Amino acid sequence: MKTRITELLNIEHPIIQGGMHYVGYAELAAAVSNAGGLGIITALTQQSPSDLSEEISRCKDMTNKPFGVNLTILPTFKDPDYPGYIKAIIEGGVPVVETAGRNPQEVLPYLHEAGIKVIHKCTSIRHSLKAKSIGCDAVSVDGFECGGHPGEDDIPNMILLPRAADELEIPFVASGGMADARSLVGSLAMGADGMNMGTRFMATKEAPIHEKVKQAILEATELDTRLIMRPLRNTERVLTNVAVERLLEKERELGAELNIDDISEEVMGVYPRVMIDGDMDAGAWSCGIVAGLINDIPSCEELINRIMAEAESLIKDRLTGIVME
């Protein structure tokens, strides 16, 4: 399948594995890239720039296909060594960077000078247009369905993607609610050039996370995610558990008095405890509504091959058959 995003990124299939904290390691990124998509290593999961350099090197040992690095630029209690991470990305010869969070304008010149393509994750049309104006090569448009941070506008992809198609001149991919061939074909129909999947790739054989996490995704329905930190305007979609429900109760009780310290037990340092140790009630971890569409744990190659084969069938058989001559 040939789209603007496959040509821009030099990949076979218009499928991207999004950056995910304590999930986006070399094993998963290489498996996705070897299957014809674009795998992505998550930079800030690595404790230092030197650790990221080693992870990039490990990924290169596992694939000769293009892969990317996610660099999330968010307000934190202590800023990571962003210049060091960028240096590691450039020196590692990574061809694609997925930026997220704050405006990436300051880092763009360094990445572009190195010939790196930049995809910025956006949850609104205004942010997508801003990304285009500062020189991003493509945009990942995140609908309200997505796991993680969906922004504060609550616009689902059935509206957001056609709006992006109307406004954007640069390539964009659909993110949030993406799981299968229907997701891909629907996104293409609404003007996207491909799709970005996060939660779906967590439930694969190569995802280097605890088996309990994968089983939790399989057992979840579309009713099992929650939106937390809305009062702080830092909304995150997570899978419900004991800690999440406790956090939501705190939000209800404290109302406008809530601050981040009140919920630090449920949100700080949670990911290694969940993803590595399998402590499923340790705290809040990102998961999309799309969990309701996930029913198996295939390899990345099996998943991508299935999506592409079913997408071709949908386009050539079902959709063509609907049109009356």
Domain layout of the chain by residue ranges? 4-204
| The pLDDT value given to residue 146 | 97
pTM of the complete model = 0.96
Residues 6+ apart with CB under 8 A from 20: 42, 70, 198, 201, 202, 286
Residues 6+ apart with CB under 8 A from 287: 147, 199, 202, 217, 220, 225, 237, 238, 239
Task: Work out the end-to-end distance of the chain between its first and last CA atoms, rounded to an integer number of angstroms.
Answer: 26
Q: Helix-strand-coil percent breakdown of the chain, rounded to 5? A: 45, 15, 40
CATH class of this structure's domain 4-204: alpha beta
Task: Judge residue 277's burial from the number of C-beta atoms within 10 Å of its C-beta, 0-12 exposed, 13-18 middle, 19 or more buried.
Answer: exposed
Q: What pairs with residue 197 in β-bridges?
A: 17
Which sign, positive or negative, has the C-alpha torsion 230, 232, 236, 240? negative
The H-or-E segment that residue 95 falls in is none
Residues 6+ apart with CB under 8 A from 228: 235, 236, 238, 244, 247, 248, 251, 263, 266, 267, 284
Give the tokens for residue 154. Answer: 């609550």
Give the tokens for residue 78. Answer: 């202590």
Between CA 212 and CA 214, with CA 213 as vertex, the angle to 5 degrees is 90
Q: What pairs with residue 100 in β-bridges?
A: 72
What is the distance of C-alpha 6 from the center of its chain?
A: 17
The Cα 120–Cα 131 span in angstroms is: 7
The H-or-E segment that residue 184 falls in is helix 181-189
| The pLDDT value given to residue 75 | 66
Residues in the chain with pLDDT values less than 70:
75-78
Mean pLDDT of the chain: 96
**Phi and psi, residue 321, nearest 5°:** -70, -20
The Cα 98–Cα 100 span in angstroms is: 7
**Phi and psi, residue 152, nearest 5°:** -120, 5
| The pLDDT value given to residue 76 | 60
